[in-house]
Structure 1
Amino acid sequence: MSPETDPALLEELEVDLFVEVLHRRYGYDFRDYGRASLTRRIRNLVSQQGEQSIADLAARVLHQPERIGDVIAGLSVPVSEFFRDPSVFLALREVVLPALSTYSQITIWQAGCARGEEVYSLAILLTEAGLYDRTHIFATDISDAALASAKEGIYPSEDLRDAARRYLAGGGTHTLSDYYHARYDRAKMDQRLISRVTFANHNLVTDEVFCEAHLILCRNVLIYFTDVLQDRVLGKFATSLVRGGFLCVGTRENLQFSPAAQKFHAIDIKAQLYRLQGKR
């Protein structure tokens, strides 16, 4: 079969071209992202941008740098929710925060923060544990649009009402409505929850580590990477964590089959919570 007679092969070549444009022209490296998921997102982007084909989109992006922000926003997966997987937040509350309380200053890296729901959830957790005022959270994402939304902290009121149950299941000690102001169909999070947060654009694929963290959360990001890229990113996390630091990944993710797994030991498999072995 050749590209002239096989549409699937032609599309594969167009995806390769598009990915190469992003890498060589702008430094965004999607070469080791899961191909099936990436191809679906590129197809959606073609439709959103009003192009006829992936090749047309690649040509536009190559010659029109002003479009790169919209492209990266379209390729990223800024999907999250407040207190997603309550058992994870309960494990953080009961296992991790007591350990972090022994430090005079705490650094947390929230990698792939999307539109900020998990950042605010984490800040609430730290506030209720009495640790927020001595914590610095670095919330990073590849999408400037997602970061702007996270800073703004405005969400559909329905999202917060739905999250109230998860908050309580995660060990919440107040009511979730204490942390936001609702009006009509929108709710704005209390901005004190991000007073100790630095939002920054960071590419897990190409950028280096930038802090020494006591806890790293990177949930439901690794599932979009190939095994090789997952291992590379996990290596970065191991480098960034302090001795005995904690790593929490998504409940659909798993370190067990990665070469980097030997650097961690499991604290709670259900919550996908790990602790770094001794290093250096």
Structure 2
Amino acid sequence: MTDRIGEEKVEDIEIRLLLEAIYARYHYDFRSYAMASIKRRLKQARQHFEYPTFSALQEGLLHDPDMMPRLLAYLTVQVSEMFRDPTYFKALRESVVPHLRTYPSLKVWVAGCSSGEELYSLAILFREEGLEERTLFYATDINQDALKAAEAGIYSLDRIQGFTQNHRMSGGRSSLSDYYTAAYGRASFDKSLRRNVVFSDHSLVTDAVFGEMHLISCRNVLIYFDRTLQDQALKLFRDSLVRKGFLGLGSKESLRFSAYSEAFTDFVREEKIFQRRPV
């Protein structure tokens, strides 16, 4: 038992050194991510790359730059689906869109867009609500491979049934099949959905405000951050939103204990949609 505890302490030291090395060498900062989550992901990566220890994995990363993009696939969140949590999108449609209609132009930021499912969900929703033409979407992630997948907009056909059901439950005004072409076991979403989209590498940890947004949707990302990093991201969102702009978080995320909770009011409490307080 004592030996096992000692091994875990050594692993924790190795992981902290590895995260410092990643930051120093590649400028990706995972040092304030929740330890349990990052440790689980790094164990999977270590096994995949067939390194006996985290120290060996660190050495490999420092001397082989080609490894870093592959490691990002383990360290960043890549699990999503279109119209995930349909009631969230229904609340956007019914409660947020009427406010957005009052603006002549709109900016929407999908922070941590992964492979693009949430981006396309919002693009379709805005098209159905007649807001697409006046909206510029920003889709950001730290993972370049994820951004490339998002820009391609191609998904396995066996996922489409779930996407379609979610779209219908979100209050969709058309058939999801109107937006994609199916062939060879894949669904390719219409290029027109990307015409008002800027895909960009952006880190919630190290990068700054880059525009005044009317809606920021950052769902199921903050749960992987520790409290300090959550507050840092929420400050970034506050500073990136226009007066009375909207912030959407994931179903397991909250502002309740944040240092920036007073910057927002509950807008649709049960769907974790918040509105920035007027200054």
Query: Could you tell me the TM-score, scaled by structure 2's length?
Result: 0.97
Aligned to 1:195: 195
> Which SS does the other structure have where 2:66 is aligned?
helix
Aligned to 1:100: 100
> Which SS does the other structure have where 2:271 is aligned?
coil
Whichever residue aligns with residue 247 of structure 2, its letter is L
Aligned to 1:147: 147
> Which SS does the other structure have where 2:274 is aligned?
strand
Aligned to 1:136: 136
Whichever residue aligns with residue 262 of structure 2, its letter is Q
Once the two structures are superposed, residues 93-112 of structure 1 have per-residue CA deviations (whole angstroms, 9 ceiling, x without a partner) of: 01111111111110011000
Whichever residue aligns with residue 50 of structure 2, its letter is G
> Which SS does the other structure have where 1:253 is aligned?
coil
Aligned to 1:117: 117
Aligned to 2:82: 82
Whichever residue aligns with residue 107 of structure 1, its letter is K
Whichever residue aligns with residue 255 of structure 1, its letter is L
Give runs of aligned pairs for residues 1-280 of structure 1, distance below 5 A: 6-279=6-279
Unaligned runs of 5+ in 2: none
1: distance between equivalents of 2:5 and 2:83? 49
CA RMSD of aligned residues (A): 1.5
Query: Could you tell me the TM-score, scaled by structure 1's length?
Result: 0.97
2: distance between equivalents of 1:75 and 1:13? 18
> Which SS does the other structure have where 1:270 is aligned?
helix
1: distance between equivalents of 2:164 and 2:57? 41
Whichever residue aligns with residue 61 of structure 2, its letter is V
Query: Is the contact made by 1:209 and 1:239 (CA closer than 8 Å) also made in structure 2?
Result: yes
> Which SS does the other structure have where 1:259 is aligned?
coil
Tell which deviates more after alignment, 2-11 or 242-251: 2-11
> Which SS does the other structure have where 1:29 is aligned?
coil
Whichever residue aligns with residue 111 of structure 1, its letter is A
How many percent of aligned residue pairs carry the same amino acid? 43
Query: Is the contact made by 1:266 and 1:272 (CA closer than 8 Å) also made in structure 2?
Result: yes
Once the two structures are superposed, residues 112-171 of structure 1 have per-residue CA deviations (whole angstroms, 9 ceiling, x without a partner) of: 000000100000000001110110000000100100111111101121111111111101
Query: Is the contact made by 1:106 and 1:213 (CA closer than 8 Å) also made in structure 2?
Result: yes
Tell which deviates more after alignment, 57-66 or 125-134: 57-66
Once the two structures are superposed, residues 10-38 of structure 1 have per-residue CA deviations (whole angstroms, 9 ceiling, x without a partner) of: 11011011101011112111111000000
Shift of 1:68: 1.6
2: distance between equivalents of 1:46 and 1:101? 49
Instruction: Provide closer, same or farther for how the CA distance between residues 176 and 60 of structure 1 changes in structure 2, counting only shifts above 3 A.
Output: same
